[in-house]
């Protein structure tokens, strides 16, 4: 039981973001913005998600009309995933929204994905990095 509590606690101050396909050229600017707001890069992986991984990553949206299109898009090219240490408990979702305003093209091609809860940080980062 203690081990599970330690694992759960290890994700307490973490965030997970993905720079989406087609937005790699903005990665330095996006990372600078995140770091300026107190986030620390813990782990980085550039990869092309398989369709199966994208389907798992976005399973909470499986009942939405855009689910398949989003998963196909996310598996269409390279993305960059970041596991971030968040010692100041910064609102990563707010930062994501600001980044989307600057770099996003439309609702799907919006530059960045961010986990919306601590549980999803753990679930999504495990999918992305494994």
pLDDT per residue as tens digits for the range 1-25: 454 444 444 556 899 999 999 999 9
Write out pLDDT tens, residues 89-117.
999 999 999 999 999 999 999 999 999 99
**Quick one: tokens of 53?**
């991984």
Q: What pLDDT sits at residue 4?
A: 41
Q: What pLDDT sits at residue 30?
A: 97
Judge whether 84 and 17 are in contact, CB under 8 Å. Answer: yes
**Quick one: tokens of 124?**
């999504």
Write out pLDDT tens, residues 39-91.
999 999 999 999 999 999 999 999 999 999 999 999 999 999 999 999 999 99
Q: What pLDDT sits at residue 6?
A: 43
Tell me how long the chain is.
130
Q: What pLDDT sits at residue 85?
A: 95
Residue 10 has phi, psi (to 5 degrees) of: -65, -20
**What is the distance between the alpha carbons of residues 33 and 20, in angstroms, rounded to a whole number?**
16
Mode of pairing for the β-strands spanning 112-114 and 79-85: unpaired
Neighbouring-strand partners of residue 73: none
Judge whether 54 and 102 are in contact, CB under 8 Å. Answer: no
Neighbours of 117 (CB within 10 A): 11
What's the predicted TM-score (pTM) here? 0.88
Q: What pLDDT sits at residue 111?
A: 97
């Amino acid at each position: 039981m203690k081990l599970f509590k330690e694992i759960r606690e290890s994700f307490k101050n973490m965030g997970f973001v993905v720079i989406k396909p087609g937005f790699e050229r903005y990665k330095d600017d996006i990372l600078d913005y995140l770091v300026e707001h107190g986030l620390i890069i813990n782990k980085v992986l550039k990869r092309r998600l398989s369709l199966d991984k994208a389907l798992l990553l976005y399973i909470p949206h499986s009942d939405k009309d855009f689910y398949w299109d989003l998963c196909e898009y996310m598996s269409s090219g390279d993305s960059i995933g970041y596991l971030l240490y968040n010692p100041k408990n910064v609102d990563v979702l707010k930062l994501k929204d600001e980044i989307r305003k600057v770099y996003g093209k439309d609702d799907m091609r919006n530059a960045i994905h961010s986990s919306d809860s601590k549980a999803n940080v753990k679930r999504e980062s495990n999918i992305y990095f494994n």
